[in-house]
Amino acid sequence: MAMESVRQFSAILATGAILGQPPRAKPVQKNCSHLTASRLIKLVTDCLDEIPDHRPNQCKNGIPFGNFPKSAFAMMQVKMPSMLRFDSERADPVRVHNLETLFDVIDGRVPCDTRMREVMDPVSPHWLQKSFKKLFARVQRSGYLQKFEFPIGRLKNHYLLAIDGTQIFFSGKLSCDDCCTKNQGKAGEAFYHQLMGDCIVHPDQKVVIPLAPEAIVRQDGCTKNDSEKSAIKRFLANVKKDHPYLKLIILLDGLYADGPTIRLIKSYGWHYIIIAKDGNHGPLIEAMDELDKQEKVARFVKTDPETGVKHWYRFANDVPLNKSNPDEKVNVLDFVETDKIR
Ligand SMILES: [Zn+2]
């Protein structure tokens, strides 16, 4: 019996002429001396020093306020498995020396796990935005960013910005004022925080360049949960504010393949590649099938000579996105992959 597994996805595209050989990364003459770890860490710790001290009376004889965010940053930078582990090693002379010299933790005075939470929890994540902006400016000035240019068709000097939401905290017991709530007031009530993360990516580059993420948390004065759909509006507005001249192609998953998100991206002058899955975007696939019948789609099939895996492509321009957005026309690349028939 023939066994064939099929995987399908479609991408809706803002740009034509994507088919063909992907562009190679540019060879770039770059000045990386400003991109050494110590210089980049210094740039971040300088920004963290600007966070205002919110403690009553600023705890004059206590741990300097800047030591809190800088210790937290160091904990993440050295990839500590937990805050408790960081806490247990904060008396280690080698660790203290590194914290003082590399992370500018004054007098090596590292807060304990509990105090770190008390002092850092109320700090708005927006205070971290400046470090991301400065790091990006440094990467841009060094010439390193050019390696990430990804021209598609008529689009030159564009960069791929991949965005997705991720959960960073979930508990059935612990919560704070910023927590979003699942099953509020019912059995199985739980609390969570999410983050909208993003990176400039390039298929030929092993590293990625993050821009400032957006916290998906309950917004001030709001009784409803925050959501990825609301967060993307704040996120894109911040990217435009911080990087008004950056030419972007926004990469998103199927959750965002809708009229409002596409119009928002276009309003900022950017382009997009968004995944649209069969199950959630039936009308889009039906519109493709209709164009197919009218022989208005380009298609080709490629078979991998070694594995026998077949790649089926079809492509059309100006396909209506869905029934509620008939005037929103998108370019669609429909892709199906089938295993070798055994
Ligand atoms: Zn919380």
Residue 264 located in a structural domain: yes
pLDDT at 20: 42
Q: Of 77, 110, 126, which marks where a domain is finished?
A: 126
Is 1 domain-assigned? no
d(CA 171, ligand 1 centre) in Å? 9
Centre of ligand 1 from the C-alpha of residue 331, in Å: 40
Residues 276 and 320 in one domain: yes
Residue showing tokens 């925050």: 226
Number of domains in the chain: 2
In a domain? residue 139: no
Domain boundary among 93, 126, 159: 126
CA of 58 to the centre of ligand 1 (A): 24
**Domain annotation covers residue 134:** no
Question: Tokens 């370019």 correspond to what residue?
Answer: 331
* Backbone φ, ψ for residue 49 (5° rounding): -65, -15
Low-confidence ranges of the chain (pLDDT < 50): 1-4, 15-21
Beta strands (DSSP E) in the chain are 6-13, 159-171, 180-182, 190-201, 209-210, 214-216, 248-252, 271-276, 298-303, 310-322, 325-338
Q: Position 201: which residue type? A: V
Query: For the whole model, what pTM was predicted?
Result: 0.85
In this structure, the answer to whether residues 109 and 154 fall within a common structural domain is no
Residue 136 lies in a domain: no
In a domain, 212, yes or no: yes
CB-count burial class (<10 Å; 0-12, 13-18, 19+) for 174: exposed
Same domain, 164 and 15: yes
Determine, yes or no, domain membership for 232: yes
Contacts of 309 (CB under 8 A, 6+ apart): 303, 337, 338, 339, 340
* pLDDT value for 170: 94
* 75, 172: one domain: no
Residues 6 or more apart from 104 whose CB is under 8 A from it?
Answer: 42, 45, 49, 66, 70
Residues 6 or more apart whose Cβ sits within 8 Å of residue 331? 12, 13, 14, 15, 16, 18, 315, 316, 317, 318, 319
Q: How far is CA 317 from CA 21, 123, 267, 321, in A?
A: 19, 47, 20, 11
C-alpha 199 to ligand 1 mean position (Å): 25
Residue 135 CA to ligand 1 center (angstroms) comes to 28
For 162-207, what is each residue's pLDDT tens digit?
999 999 999 999 988 888 899 888 889 999 999 999 999 999 999 9
Same domain, yes or no: 163 and 281: yes
Domain that holds residue 71: 34-126
| pLDDT of amino acid 294 | 93
Using the mean position of ligand 1's atoms as its centre, give its distance from the Cα of residue 173 in Å. 11
For residues 237 and 291, state if they share a domain. yes
Q: Which of 92, 126, 160 is the last residue of a domain?
A: 126
Query: What tens digit of pLDDT does each residue of 121-174 get?
Result: 889 888 999 999 999 999 999 999 999 999 888 888 999 999 999 999 999 999
Compute, in angstroms, the gap from residue 15 CA to the centroid of ligand 1. 40
CA of 201 to the centre of ligand 1 (A): 30
